[in-house]
């Protein structure tokens, strides 16, 4: 057996729903690559984690060879180019970033540097340009440990001295916003706009549609963010058709990009909304004890056999949003290919003059 099984259910979904909907070339603007050997063993204290647990249950690592194989299995007749970055704790960052640099040299795929908030802007510039990176990604877990999760703000893991340097370079910044209010949180919205006002040359991407995984997460965010005319969004690891539809209504197909958040979209699941949160319905026994995370719930064995990939569920939600808005192949091509390609080429041109 290969990296994972592609069932008759998966093949049917791809053939009947996705193959003709998707363009021949795609850009995956958001995916993680790392090797298990590069990350130090971690004793996980679930009570102290500042992130959900379920993504850790899908794959122990995602070397670039597995990423390429995943695309071949899920999109057998498409050409997919990823924008890569690692996923790591503080002690592992140098080794994991070095591996991403190796992956770039091996494959030619573009990548972002995974930044720690204690790094200076000058250090980041040196590491980015030496490695051929196109910008930075970071994560709320790298914020100072004394901060409770609910109090973390964007500038706690993306300090302004780093953003100032990214602005000078015209680099990409991939932002996974913090806080329990997600996209509608007023602090998040204020700081997103603050970044765009103070650092207008940053190519800022709001990951996961600002973690708007349910209707309740949206609020008046798109109205507030309408002040910015070049803010980009990816919809990775998201199946909320409402959030996708409202996003497209607000910014149009020119500022929305496909992303996968691989490897977690290898998960076999279907997502539902319940009491203002999301629940991933999964086959029994496939991801261990579902009590590890309140976002997990097992279905019956019979129902589990009907579940397809998270990847397909995400794209199906975007397909429904596009249908609602009357979008055709041109708009779909922008969302799944041209927007990401243009963003990557623009950053490369500004940073390296290419």
Strand order of the β-sheet with 296-298 is 270-274, 277-282, 296-298
The pLDDT of residue 46:
45
Distance CA 338, CA 257 (A): 9
Q: In this predicted structure, what is the pLDDT of residue 354?
A: 81
Burial class (CB in 10 A: 0-12, 13-18, 19+), 187: middle
* pLDDT at 1 (0 to 100): 56
For tokens 């030619």, name the residue: 108
Residue 211 CB partners (closer than 8 Å, separation 6+): 176, 177, 182, 183, 217
pLDDT of 43: 46
Helix 121-131 to helix 160-169 angle, to the nearest 10 degrees? 40
Distance, in Å, from the CA atom of 285 to the CA atom of 81, rounded to the nearest integer, reads 33
Pure H helices in 75-205: 93-107, 121-131, 154-157, 160-169, 186-198
In a 3-state reduction of DSSP, which class is residue 154?
A: helix
CA dist 334 → 27, 85, 178, 220, 338 (Å): 10, 23, 28, 25, 4
Q: Which two tokens stand for residue 153?
A: 């703000």
Predicted pLDDT at 49: 58
Per-position DSSP letters for 86-121, written without gaps between them: ----GGGHHHHHHHHHHHHHHH---B-EE--TTS-H
Entry field: residues in the chain: 354
Residue with tokens 């999301």: 278
Instruction: Mark the ranges of the chain whose per-residue pLDDT is less than 50.
Output: 43-47
263: preceding bond cis by omega (within 30 degrees) = yes
């Amino acid at each position: 057996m290969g990296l994972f099984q592609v069932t008759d259910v998966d093949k049917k979904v791809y053939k009947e729903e996705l193959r003709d909907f998707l363009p021949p070339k795609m850009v995956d603007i958001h995916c993680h690559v790392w090797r298990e050997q590069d990350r130090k063993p971690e004793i996980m204290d679930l009570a102290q984690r500042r992130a959900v647990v379920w993504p850790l249950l899908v794959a122990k690592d995602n070397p670039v060879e597995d990423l390429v194989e995943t695309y071949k299995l899920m999109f057998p007749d498409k050409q997919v180019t990823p924008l890569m970055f690692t996923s790591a704790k503080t002690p592992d960052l140098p080794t994991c970033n070095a591996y991403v640099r190796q992956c770039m040299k091996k494959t030619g795929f573009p990548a972002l540097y995974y930044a720690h908030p204690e790094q200076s802007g000058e250090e980041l510039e040196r590491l980015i340009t030496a490695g051929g990176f196109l910008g930075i990604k970071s994560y709320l877990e790298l914020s100072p440990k004394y901060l409770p999760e609910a109090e973390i703000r964007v500038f706690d893991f993306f300090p302004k001295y780093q953003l100032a340097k990214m602005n000078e370079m015209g680099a990409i910044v991939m932002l996974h916003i913090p806080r329990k209010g997600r996209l509608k949180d007023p602090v998040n919205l204020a700081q997103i706009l603050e970044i765009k006002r103070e650092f207008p040359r940053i190519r800022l991407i709001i990951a996961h549609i600002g973690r708007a995984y349910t209707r309740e997460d949206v609020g008046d965010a798109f109205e507030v963010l309408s002040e910015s005319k070049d803010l980009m969004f990816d919809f990775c690891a998201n199946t909320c058709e409402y959030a996708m539809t409202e996003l497209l209504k607000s910014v149009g197909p020119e500022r929305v990009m496909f992303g996968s958040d691989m490897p977690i979209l290898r998960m076999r699941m279907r997502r539902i909304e319940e009491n203002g949160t999301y629940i991933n319905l999964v086959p029994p026994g496939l991801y261990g004890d579902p009590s590890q995370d309140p976002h997990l719930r097992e279905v019956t064995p019979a129902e589990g056999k009907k579940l397809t990939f998270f990847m397909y569920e995400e794209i199906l939600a975007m397909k429904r949003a596009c249908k609602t808005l009357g979008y055709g192949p041109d708009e779909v091509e922008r969302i799944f290919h041209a927007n990401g390609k243009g963003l990557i080429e623009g950053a490369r041109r500004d940073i390296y003059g290419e």
